């Protein structure tokens, strides 16, 4: 009789073993997705310093990454069009990807004859940033910049345009 009870206990143990193994295996995690190259999409919101005027020897116009605008020196900010804005980019990568800029680019704006220089210098969210969204969802990045304006003689009123290149680094 004792032997049959021992045998029944042994059978019960062996029946529980596969169930316990299944529970253990079900807690395992799969390998992370393969690296995905960073995709950068421009939006309709481009960098714009807005309307301003000079009251002397020049100064700076600052577009902060949070969307506000400031100035330095003899610049007078106007509320006329064009409206100021940050550069807005949509970044798509696997969650956990760390994105940063290789360097903060600078460039020039020109009206065909005269030039002003600007430097991209701030971001929202702050770089480097960790991508948290899962593709195809994007992470929005706003970039701010500082425009250096010369005197009214070297930078007369007009419509100034330009381009710049951004190099992102992903880890």
| Strand ranges in 6-138 using DSSP code E only, listed in sequence order | 39-42, 52-63, 69-77, 87-92, 98-101, 106-110, 115-124, 129-130
* pLDDT-flagged residues of the chain (< 70): 1-34
Domain containing 89 equals 39-170
Would 27 be classed as within a structural domain? no
pLDDT of residue 134: 92
pLDDT of residue 13: 54
Nearest to 102 by CA among 30, 26, 38, 163: 38
Would 33 be classed as within a structural domain? no
pLDDT of residue 7: 46
Would 7 be classed as within a structural domain? no
Domain count for the chain: 1
Would 16 be classed as within a structural domain? no
pLDDT of residue 31: 64
Would 23 be classed as within a structural domain? no
pLDDT of residue 168: 93
């Amino acid at each position: 009789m004792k032997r049959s009870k021992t045998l029944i206990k042994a059978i019960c143990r062996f029946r529980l073993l596969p169930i316990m193994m299944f529970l253990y295996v079900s807690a395992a995690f799969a390998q992370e997705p393969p690296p995905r190259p960073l995709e950068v999409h421009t939006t309709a919101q481009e960098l714009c310093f807005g309307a301003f005027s000079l009251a002397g020897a020049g100064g700076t116009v600052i577009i902060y990454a949070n969307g506000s605008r400031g100035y330095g020196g003899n610049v007078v900010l106007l509320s006329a069009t064009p409206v100021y804005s940050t550069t807005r980019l949509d970044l798509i990568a696997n969650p956990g990807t760390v994105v940063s800029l290789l360097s903060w680019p600078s460039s020039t704006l020109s009206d065909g004859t005269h030039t002003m220089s600007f430097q991209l210098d701030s971001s929202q969210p702050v770089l480097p940033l960790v991508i948290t969204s899962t593709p195809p969802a994007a992470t929005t990045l706003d970039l701010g910049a500082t425009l250096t304006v010369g005197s009214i003689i070297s930078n007369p009123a007009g419509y100034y345009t330009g381009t710049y290149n951004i190099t992102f680094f992903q880890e």
